[in-house]
Amino acid sequence: MISASPTIVFGNFSLGGSRCVAGQTSNSCTSYYCHYRTVMQTNSLSDASVTAQLHVYSSRDDTPLSDDTVVFTVACSYFPLNKPVLLEAIHVYLYSSNPMQDGYDDFLPNIPTYIMGLGIIRLIRDITALNNNKHTMLEVTEHVCDEKKTSTFE
């Protein structure tokens, strides 16, 4: 993943299911990172959410964060169909507190998840049933984990 990704996600994420792994890059160097399970909350009236995996590059001896730790993250992203969203961290900001304490999340800022994308508009259509809103199909292509991937947003 490159840091100049055309699709950036930022917001608060609660982490769980951590595991640290080593991987080989395309130039045969070893890189170390931690994987976490998380969800992206939608900004709607429903409690809908999208599952995601957060990859954080780290040193070989890093200790993974404990479950239920909340972090503010800026990440490059890939949105495959019918699979968890892949988030590759650019920055992870840890809130100073212990997730095991009662009331841990009472003082965390309520920051919704935002997505910024730069891509090619493939389709524009009017939907009159939805208050005359215009819907746009946006296609974004980038390199993720040394592979070229395409995400489509509407």
Angle at 88 between CA 84 and CA 92, to 5 degrees: 115
Chain segment 62-100, per-residue pLDDT in tens: 888 989 999 999 998 888 778 888 899 999 999 877 888
Rounded mean pLDDT of 10-20? Answer: 91
Containing H/E element for 28? none
Chain segment 128-140, per-residue pLDDT in tens: 555 555 556 666 6
pLDDT at 132: 58
User: Average pLDDT over the chain, rounded to whole?
Assistant: 78
Of the chain, the percentage scoring pLDDT greater than 70 comes to: 69
Domain ranges of the chain: 7-117
pLDDT at 82: 82
pLDDT at 2: 39
- CATH topology for the 7-117 domain: OB fold (Dihydrolipoamide Acetyltransferase, E2P) (2.40.50)
pLDDT at 1: 40
**CA dihedral sign, ordered 20, 22, 27, 29:** positive
Alpha-carbon span 53 to 35, nearest angstrom: 7
φ, ψ of residue 102 in degrees (nearest 5): -65, 140
For 76-100, letters b (16+ CB in 10 Å) and e give bbbbeeeebbbbbbbebeeeeeeee
Alpha-carbon span 102 to 111, nearest angstrom: 21
